[in-house]
Structure 1
């Protein structure tokens, strides 16, 4: 497939794609602006980017700052936005203006939380990533005139890369994640996507496996710099709040984090079975105080769906957003994590973490944040999205793998009864993470020539 055919098919499919996106946005909730002008690269002709003070520039660490020719960082969704935070912070601390784009509502909301002060001061501006139509990407690049574009992990779009090349804007793919399915996609789409990769000014891979897969499609072997997700920006305030609650309820806690569709049903059934088995113990002395289970769905649009499953179960639960008392939490079977931006609060509360998205065939979710807090990790069989990081955590003793939700619950309970093993796993997680940190600073050093 060539560029012309790709663009033609995209134009023909545009009404269908927009309808699909609108349905997804309605289901998910939040701000998506699917048919908004920004999505089509349309901006007011005489718009000036000003800070809240309405001044065109202002003092930042002793020099006058102006939002002009920003460094553009694209973080498609929630995970990429979190991963990019330490790198973006380095850019801002060095006095660079940053344009931060997203595709999803959750990514944009996370960016707004992470950089609220910088947005208020006008040092960072958020925008929607335009659709990959020539006029949309041209309008976007012409309006913002970024000095370079940095794509986090993925999201290589043919027309965007071509337009940037025509305008002599360097495009960099940083912390590139390139799976076997990505390689198959490149081959399926033919030359158009491969040419887009070839037009990138620089590719920096997460792992050696990612680099080898990129080389297998005909690209020069990229430099391996590591995974930006290792540079975890831990909210110690959240961790401390979680730890205080854990001390107050005086009860073991198993956090089941970032669950995906189908997984919650099985976990809730498993917890119900453990509760029933404990209730059937005739000797009161043999009864156990079951742990508090914290269930946190990966996507907020599924909160209502998961709560319906909880309502139909035999379990008692409280919702985080209802701000329940310590007593209410102590007496519940489940704390339902229906809040956003509080993962470190939940991990501060945890004795063991089970990472969702790895039991259904979803490729896994981020286990690195749990390791950063020193929480022992349990993963399922499907972890291809974090293949190298999971394997390393398993080797270092920071994580354990099991084959099903039911066995994950049993393994979690076994770890709760082994204080020494939990302590060793938590220590191993922190030590393992320390070995891999510094990716953001390495990335900044490598990209220095593109940033000025």
Structure 2
């Protein structure tokens, strides 16, 4: 017989459960209210700083007039009209280029595209790549409105997009909240969540969760990124990889660079310091000066990451044994590499350093090289992407800061196809090692095969994107 003492006190248990439920509900409501308070404060700050934001764009327009001529778009006044399109937000030039395979697949599927961006370079890239589609009314590109609810309400009322696809890692609270409020499907594609941001966001997880939970579908670059989104309560996360593995290589640039390498730089060991950031120029200068004193047959190429730095740091290198020639001195800014004469570069050997002061020609500089060092990786900026040099089978070195390219950098390190160094001394030593390997012809075909296989194995992100968009019924209906 079971004693009365063994029986639970159901009344007390129910009271206890109610207390637990009430406590959980209270915590939930508290976090929800704090998130709402932070969001409202964020809105107030945008209203207060709106005049400063407008002044900033006027300042940028001194060098780039496009920032002022279409400023009304930032305030949600648009002349273009393209309703029912797939709205894709790509913050700048890099994201626009990376998203091109996605744009092409959507157009092939019969969709119309509304592309928003924040920069003039991103906007111009869409205009250049999709001139015919823009004329036919299949594509429109505009600046995204500033982060004020009223602006986004007017934006959404004008364009009535069928879905919103945010690319890479550009999350704007008002954009996301306004889109969800209008019951427009929200997709986060090419989604990445760097470890640096993840550690920061874990301090106040409910704030990040209030954004992540609004997405109907997140298409992440890797399993690492997927697990971080899931930590903050994402509804549905799938891994598709990175469409940068599908980007077209500029054949004309590569062809001209190959001719220069074979005919002019054949006997030289050529190092390309690609996409160099502000705090890296002094470090690179020390390495260049040291190597040029040690070896007489090294040719250097330095490509600043930001156009504002094109003329700013050149004088650091134009001294001693180093003779600098700028790309702008060799030829006009806008050139057709297919029609260009090889004679343009004949005098290049009279110099020891080519200064890459041009946009959109990084592949040209890298294709001339024996090895590429990827910039913004010595200055805690997370590094420029490594996919471009791997696409043209160039050995790659990166610095310690690779949080911005965690995928595919960690996978590439595991595969043994890139080298990571800790600082200036290791970078100099690594370049000397590759120099001797080239002279002794120790660079094996195996390493090139590894690069090719790595590139092929990571191909196909845009196909996976289309499959998931169709499976989740975000595409394939209401075509005009």
Who is 2:72 aligned against?
Answer: 37
In the alignment, the residues of structure 2 paired with residue 210 and residue 128 of structure 1 have an alpha-carbon distance, to the nearest angstrom, of 28
Q: Match of 2:171?
A: 156
SS in 2 for 1:7: helix
| Cα distance change of structure 1 residues 412 and 116 upon mapping to structure 2, 3 Å threshold | farther
**1:341-380 to 2 correspondence within 5 Å?**
341-380=360-399
In the alignment, which residue of structure 2 is the partner of 1:54?
Answer: none
Evaluate the alpha carbon distance shift between residue 312 and residue 189 of structure 1 in structure 2; reply closer, same or farther with a 3 A threshold. farther
How far residue 312 of structure 1 moved from its aligned partner, in angstroms, is 5.6
Aligned residues of 1:266 and 1:406 also touching (Cα < 8 A): no
Q: Residue in 2 aligned with 1:304?
A: 311
Contact kept in structure 2, 1:99 and 1:125, CA below 8 Å: yes
Cα deviation for residue 319 of structure 1 reads 1.6
1:17-416 to 2 correspondences below 5 Å: 17-20=53-56, 22-23=58-59, 25=60, 29=64, 31-33=66-68, 36-44=71-79, 49=81, 67-183=82-198, 186=201, 191=206, 193-220=208-235, 222-249=237-264, 250=266, 251-278=268-295, 288-290=296-298, 292-311=299-318, 314-323=321-330, 325-416=344-435
Q: How far, CA to CA, are the matches of 2:304 and 2:84 in structure 1?
A: 38
Q: Deviations over 1:404-424 (max 9, x none)?
A: 244324323422332342643
2:447 aligned residue: 425
Match of 1:10 among 46, 60, 64: 46
TM-score by length of 2: 0.81
For 2:62 and 2:329, locate their aligned partners in 1 and report how far apart those are by CA, in whole Å: 22
Q: Is the contact made by 1:173 and 1:203 (CA closer than 8 Å) also made in structure 2?
A: yes
Instruction: For residue 304 of structure 1, give the secondary structure of its aligned residue in structure 2.
Output: coil
Report the alpha carbon displacement of residue 398 of structure 1 after superposing the two structures with TM. Answer: 1.5
Where 2:272 maps in the other structure, the secondary structure is strand
Residue 363 (structure 1) shift: 0.8
Deviations 1:266-293 (A, max 9, x none): 2122212222334xxxxxxxxx422x21
Distance 1:409 1:22 in 2: 42
Query: Counterparts of 2:187 and 2:116 in 1: how far apart (Å)?
Result: 15
Does the 8 A contact of 1:74 with 1:152 survive in 2?
yes
* Deviation by residue 1:362-405 (Cα, 9 ceiling, x = unmatched): 11110111001111111111101112311211222221111224
Deviation, structure 1 residue 314: 5.0
Asked if structure 2 preserves the Cα contact closer than 8 Å seen for 1:376 and 1:422, the reply is no
Contact 2:258 2:367 in 1 (8 A): yes
Moved more, 99-108 or 359-368: 99-108
Q: Quick one: structure 1 residues 380 and 276, their matched pair in 2 at CA, closer, same or farther if it must change by over 3 Å?
A: same
Confirm or deny: 8 A CA contact 2:91 2:117 kept in the other structure: yes
The number of residue pairs the alignment matches comes to: 421
Take 1:183 and 1:21, find their aligned partners in 2: how far apart are those partners?
31
Tell me the TM-score normalised to structure 1 length. 0.86
Structure 1 residues 67-100: Cα deviation after superposition (integer angstroms, max 9, x where no partner): 5411111110122112101111112223322111
**What CA deviation, in whole Å up to 9, does each residue of 1:406-447 have, x standing for no partner?**
432432342233234264333321210110110011101111
2:196·2:403 contact (CA, 8 Å) conserved in 1? no
State the secondary structure of the residue aligned to 1:211.
Answer: helix
Which has the larger displacement, 153-162 or 6-15? 6-15
Root-mean-square deviation (CA, aligned residues, Å) is 2.4
Preserved CA contact (<8 Å) 1:211 1:222: yes
Q: Is the 8 A contact 1:347 1:353 kept in 2?
A: yes
Bigger radius of gyration among the two? 2
SS in structure 1 opposite 2:226?
helix
Distance in 1 (CA, whole Å) between partners of 2:407 and 2:115 is: 28
